[in-house]
Structure 1
Amino acid sequence: MNEEQKLRRLARIARREEPPRVDVAGRVMARLHRREADEGLGVRPLAWVAVAGAAVAIPLAIAAAYMWQHLTDPLLLAFVEPGGGLL
Protein backbone atom coordinates (compact mmCIF):
# COMPACT_ATOMS: atom_id res chain seq x y z
CA MET A 1 0.00 0.00 0.00
CA ASN A 2 1.57 3.27 -1.04
CA GLU A 3 1.41 6.61 0.77
CA GLU A 4 -1.47 8.00 -1.27
CA GLN A 5 -3.67 4.97 -0.60
CA LYS A 6 -2.92 5.18 3.12
CA LEU A 7 -3.89 8.86 3.16
CA ARG A 8 -7.10 8.18 1.24
CA ARG A 9 -8.04 5.36 3.65
CA LEU A 10 -7.35 7.62 6.66
CA ALA A 11 -9.40 10.43 5.10
CA ARG A 12 -12.31 8.02 4.49
CA ILE A 13 -12.18 6.86 8.11
CA ALA A 14 -11.96 10.44 9.37
CA ARG A 15 -15.03 11.46 7.36
CA ARG A 16 -17.09 8.73 9.03
CA GLU A 17 -16.08 9.73 12.55
CA GLU A 18 -18.51 11.78 14.60
CA PRO A 19 -17.11 14.33 17.02
CA PRO A 20 -18.22 13.87 20.62
CA ARG A 21 -21.07 16.11 21.74
CA VAL A 22 -19.83 18.53 24.38
CA ASP A 23 -21.86 21.40 25.81
CA VAL A 24 -19.51 24.08 27.08
CA ALA A 25 -21.95 26.99 27.09
CA GLY A 26 -22.69 26.75 30.81
CA ARG A 27 -19.02 26.66 31.79
CA VAL A 28 -18.15 29.52 29.44
CA MET A 29 -20.96 31.73 30.73
CA ALA A 30 -20.02 30.98 34.36
CA ARG A 31 -16.43 31.92 33.65
CA LEU A 32 -17.45 35.17 31.93
CA HIS A 33 -19.68 36.15 34.86
CA ARG A 34 -16.91 35.32 37.31
CA ARG A 35 -14.47 37.48 35.34
CA GLU A 36 -16.91 40.42 35.37
CA ALA A 37 -17.29 40.08 39.14
CA ASP A 38 -13.51 39.92 39.63
CA GLU A 39 -12.83 43.07 37.61
CA GLY A 40 -14.86 45.15 40.03
CA LEU A 41 -13.68 48.68 39.24
CA GLY A 42 -14.02 48.43 35.49
CA VAL A 43 -13.45 51.73 33.72
CA ARG A 44 -13.91 54.10 36.65
CA PRO A 45 -10.21 54.77 37.36
CA LEU A 46 -9.64 55.59 33.70
CA ALA A 47 -12.64 57.92 33.74
CA TRP A 48 -11.19 59.80 36.71
CA VAL A 49 -7.87 60.19 34.90
CA ALA A 50 -9.73 61.56 31.88
CA VAL A 51 -11.66 64.02 34.06
CA ALA A 52 -8.46 65.19 35.74
CA GLY A 53 -6.75 65.61 32.37
CA ALA A 54 -9.67 67.62 31.02
CA ALA A 55 -9.74 69.78 34.16
CA VAL A 56 -6.12 70.72 33.52
CA ALA A 57 -6.31 70.95 29.73
CA ILE A 58 -9.36 73.21 29.43
CA PRO A 59 -7.95 76.17 31.42
CA LEU A 60 -4.59 75.78 29.66
CA ALA A 61 -6.28 75.82 26.25
CA ILE A 62 -8.26 78.94 27.18
CA ALA A 63 -5.10 80.67 28.44
CA ALA A 64 -3.19 79.65 25.32
CA ALA A 65 -5.93 81.01 23.05
CA TYR A 66 -5.99 84.28 25.00
CA MET A 67 -2.20 84.61 24.79
CA TRP A 68 -2.20 83.73 21.07
CA GLN A 69 -4.77 86.45 20.36
CA HIS A 70 -2.68 89.08 22.13
CA LEU A 71 0.64 87.94 20.68
CA THR A 72 -0.67 88.09 17.11
CA ASP A 73 -2.55 91.39 17.51
CA PRO A 74 -1.22 93.69 14.73
CA LEU A 75 -2.04 96.84 16.69
CA LEU A 76 0.02 95.65 19.66
CA LEU A 77 2.89 94.70 17.35
CA ALA A 78 2.93 98.24 15.92
CA PHE A 79 3.71 99.73 19.35
CA VAL A 80 6.33 97.22 20.50
CA GLU A 81 9.99 97.72 19.65
CA PRO A 82 11.97 94.73 18.39
CA GLY A 83 13.87 94.69 21.71
CA GLY A 84 10.69 94.08 23.66
CA GLY A 85 9.90 97.55 25.04
CA LEU A 86 7.06 99.87 24.18
CA LEU A 87 7.73 102.91 21.98
Structure 2
Amino acid sequence: MSSVVIAALSMQARSGADTVAAIFPPWWSAQQAMLATAAAGASVVRTGAIPAIMIVQPAQNGGLAKLRAAGAWFALDPQAVAACFSNSTTTRSEGSGA
Protein backbone atom coordinates (compact mmCIF):
# COMPACT_ATOMS: atom_id res chain seq x y z
CA MET A 1 0.00 0.00 0.00
CA SER A 2 2.78 2.44 0.83
CA SER A 3 4.40 1.93 -2.57
CA VAL A 4 1.10 2.88 -4.25
CA VAL A 5 0.92 6.09 -2.21
CA ILE A 6 4.55 6.94 -2.99
CA ALA A 7 4.01 6.32 -6.71
CA ALA A 8 0.85 8.44 -6.71
CA LEU A 9 2.60 11.30 -4.94
CA SER A 10 5.48 11.22 -7.41
CA MET A 11 3.08 11.49 -10.37
CA GLN A 12 0.95 14.31 -8.92
CA ALA A 13 -0.22 16.82 -11.50
CA ARG A 14 1.23 20.26 -11.02
CA SER A 15 -1.07 23.11 -10.12
CA GLY A 16 -2.25 24.87 -13.27
CA ALA A 17 -1.85 21.78 -15.47
CA ASP A 18 -3.93 21.92 -18.65
CA THR A 19 -4.82 18.22 -18.56
CA VAL A 20 -4.81 15.74 -15.69
CA ALA A 21 -5.80 12.15 -15.05
CA ALA A 22 -8.47 12.26 -12.36
CA ILE A 23 -8.39 9.01 -10.41
CA PHE A 24 -11.70 8.18 -8.76
CA PRO A 25 -12.42 5.22 -6.46
CA PRO A 26 -11.90 1.99 -8.47
CA TRP A 27 -15.40 0.72 -7.68
CA TRP A 28 -16.98 3.75 -9.36
CA SER A 29 -18.60 3.30 -12.74
CA ALA A 30 -17.70 5.48 -15.71
CA GLN A 31 -21.03 7.26 -15.21
CA GLN A 32 -20.20 8.12 -11.59
CA ALA A 33 -16.76 9.40 -12.59
CA MET A 34 -18.25 11.51 -15.41
CA LEU A 35 -20.88 12.99 -13.11
CA ALA A 36 -18.22 13.88 -10.54
CA THR A 37 -16.06 15.40 -13.28
CA ALA A 38 -18.98 17.54 -14.44
CA ALA A 39 -19.77 18.55 -10.84
CA ALA A 40 -16.17 19.79 -10.53
CA GLY A 41 -16.59 21.92 -13.66
CA ALA A 42 -13.93 19.95 -15.55
CA SER A 43 -14.14 18.95 -19.22
CA VAL A 44 -13.61 15.30 -20.19
CA VAL A 45 -10.87 14.86 -22.78
CA ARG A 46 -11.11 11.06 -22.86
CA THR A 47 -11.67 8.13 -20.58
CA GLY A 48 -8.83 6.19 -19.04
CA ALA A 49 -7.87 2.53 -19.08
CA ILE A 50 -10.43 1.77 -16.38
CA PRO A 51 -13.83 3.44 -15.84
CA ALA A 52 -12.68 5.28 -12.71
CA ILE A 53 -9.96 7.22 -14.59
CA MET A 54 -10.92 10.33 -16.51
CA ILE A 55 -8.48 12.46 -18.50
CA VAL A 56 -9.82 15.96 -17.99
CA GLN A 57 -9.16 19.66 -18.31
CA PRO A 58 -9.72 21.04 -14.80
CA ALA A 59 -11.86 24.09 -14.22
CA GLN A 60 -10.14 27.44 -13.83
CA ASN A 61 -9.42 28.75 -10.33
CA GLY A 62 -8.94 25.74 -8.10
CA GLY A 63 -9.86 23.00 -10.56
CA LEU A 64 -7.75 20.32 -8.84
CA ALA A 65 -9.34 21.08 -5.47
CA LYS A 66 -12.78 20.92 -7.09
CA LEU A 67 -11.98 17.47 -8.54
CA ARG A 68 -10.87 16.24 -5.11
CA ALA A 69 -14.03 17.66 -3.51
CA ALA A 70 -16.09 15.81 -6.13
CA GLY A 71 -14.48 12.51 -5.14
CA ALA A 72 -11.20 12.19 -7.07
CA TRP A 73 -8.53 10.51 -5.00
CA PHE A 74 -5.68 11.93 -7.06
CA ALA A 75 -5.03 14.22 -10.01
CA LEU A 76 -2.01 12.82 -11.81
CA ASP A 77 0.10 13.51 -14.87
CA PRO A 78 -1.89 11.77 -17.64
CA GLN A 79 1.26 10.62 -19.47
CA ALA A 80 2.50 8.83 -16.35
CA VAL A 81 -0.87 7.13 -15.91
CA ALA A 82 -0.93 6.08 -19.58
CA ALA A 83 2.49 4.49 -19.19
CA CYS A 84 1.26 2.47 -16.23
CA PHE A 85 -1.87 1.18 -17.93
CA SER A 86 -0.83 0.72 -21.57
CA ASN A 87 -0.02 -2.63 -23.11
CA SER A 88 2.93 -3.21 -25.43
CA THR A 89 0.74 -4.07 -28.45
CA THR A 90 -1.18 -0.78 -28.31
CA THR A 91 1.95 1.26 -27.69
CA ARG A 92 3.80 -0.34 -30.61
CA SER A 93 0.96 0.19 -33.10
CA GLU A 94 0.45 3.80 -32.00
CA GLY A 95 4.16 4.50 -32.29
CA SER A 96 4.53 2.92 -35.73
CA GLY A 97 2.26 5.45 -37.41
CA ALA A 98 0.00 2.66 -38.69
TM-score by length of 1: 0.19
Name whichever structure is richer in strand by fraction.
2
TM-score by length of 2: 0.18
Q: Please identify the structure whose Cα radius of gyration is greater.
A: 1
